[in-house]
Copies of this chain bind each other. A is one copy, B any other.
Amino acid sequence: MGKGRLEAFSDGVIAILITIMVLELKIPEGGSPLSLRPLLPVLLSYLLSFIYLGIYWNNHHHLLHSVQRVTSGIMWANLHLLFWLSLVPFTTGWMGANRHAAVPAGLYGLVLLMAGIAFFVLQRAIIRSQGRDSPLRRAVGDDWKGKLSPLVYALAMGTAFVSAAGAEALYALVALAWLVPDRRYAQAQAGGA
């Protein structure tokens, strides 16, 4: 399988996920400005998940950059990642509808954690398929961000039961850390290609 269709399919799924989340912004009854107020936490959790899915879309692209041949393992590891990402609209909506509630904030982190693990598994599947001189292995390096993020998600999940706002702040922090441009892939690509 060429990677073109894998990329197109993944882009399609992520584009749909990022868009259907906005359907949770239910149109309020009446046109008063007060009717917008309960939507604010929904909007904020939408914004956070929009950024997360944007990060995944971006990182997914970098990940596939050096792929030449899509094995069955890569394909299923990719679908596994898309499965966890597909739960993000649900956890986003639940967290947005229950501001500062422990379980929704914790579940939000659990899905991020599983997506992070799925991303790691996909990375390994690609590196394995590329054999000894894997260009992705060199590009990834020690990948401290990829390794640290799941730890922070796990930490945030625990924090949620003490302070949901604290957990939400940790999620925002990780998102910010990923927003900072990542030079590793770019350099490896420049060096490799």
Contacts and interface: CB of A to CB of B under 8 A. Distances in A.
Q: How many copies of this chain sit in the oligomeric assembly? A: 4
A22 B83 CA distance: 10
B22 A23 contact: no
- Tier of interface size on chain A: 35 or more
Contacts of A7: 5
Give the dominant DSSP class at A's interface: helix
A27 interface: yes
A181 B103 contact: no
A122 to B, nearest CB: 14
A45 to B, nearest CB: 11
The 3 closest A-B pairs by CB, nearest first: A31-B101, A31-B98, A12-B15
